[in-house]
Homo-oligomer: A and B are copies of this chain.
Amino acid sequence: MTEITGPDAVERLKELVEDIDFTMLTTVDDDGNLVSRPMSTREMDEAGDIWFFTSDDTDKVDEARAHRDVGLSYCDAKGMRYVSVDGKAAIVHDKAKMAELYSPSLDVWFEQGLDTPGIALLKVTPRVSEFWEPAKGKIAMAAGMLKSLVTKDTPDDDIMNHGKIVR
């Protein structure tokens, strides 16, 4: 493997995180179980913090508050690009920051937009981030073709199936 370090690594990390967009946020529940769910990334800011929208009344907010250690897994299976972020979570109610990060596509989750009761930001401050991806040109042709097919549509209620298995 070719090791990418320093500013190049930070720059690429930001590109990967914002391009892959959806991540699996892992929190630890009261029993020590590692629970994950998909989240849409708003941005990785200049400080390296990664921002998401969430709601105050969700398990993930409770879990992030109780156990500030969280994990983010980004994977683009077709492009073979993988990112792991291990960091600390914080719940933020900064209206100016919310306005900066909000986009109309989020209305699917927040019916009253920025005025939706309980709307909040989840900020992850990375401790260790790692990424794995093919070197340039190695699967570029396939990746390039795939890129043009990416849909950024936000799923509405009846587009998604959901399954849950408890053992």
Which B residues are in CB contact (< 8 Å) with A5? 163-164
**C-alpha gap A59/B16 in the complex (Å):** 25
A4 part of interface (Cβ distance < 8 Å): yes
Q: Is the CB of B130 within 8 A of A37?
A: yes
Residues of A bordering B, CB below 8 Å = 1-5, 8-10, 12-13, 20-24, 26, 28, 32-38, 48, 67, 69-71, 73-80, 82, 84, 86, 125-135, 138-139, 142, 145-146, 149-151, 153, 155, 157-167
B134 touches A167 (CB 8 A): no
Q: In the complex the two chains form, is B73's CB within 8 Å of A26's CB?
A: yes
Q: Which of A8, A38, A67, A76 has the most CB of B within 10 A?
A: A38
Which chain B residues border A33 with CB–CB below 8 Å? Answer: 69, 86, 127-128
In the complex, the answer to whether A165 meets B86 with C-beta atoms within 8 Å is no
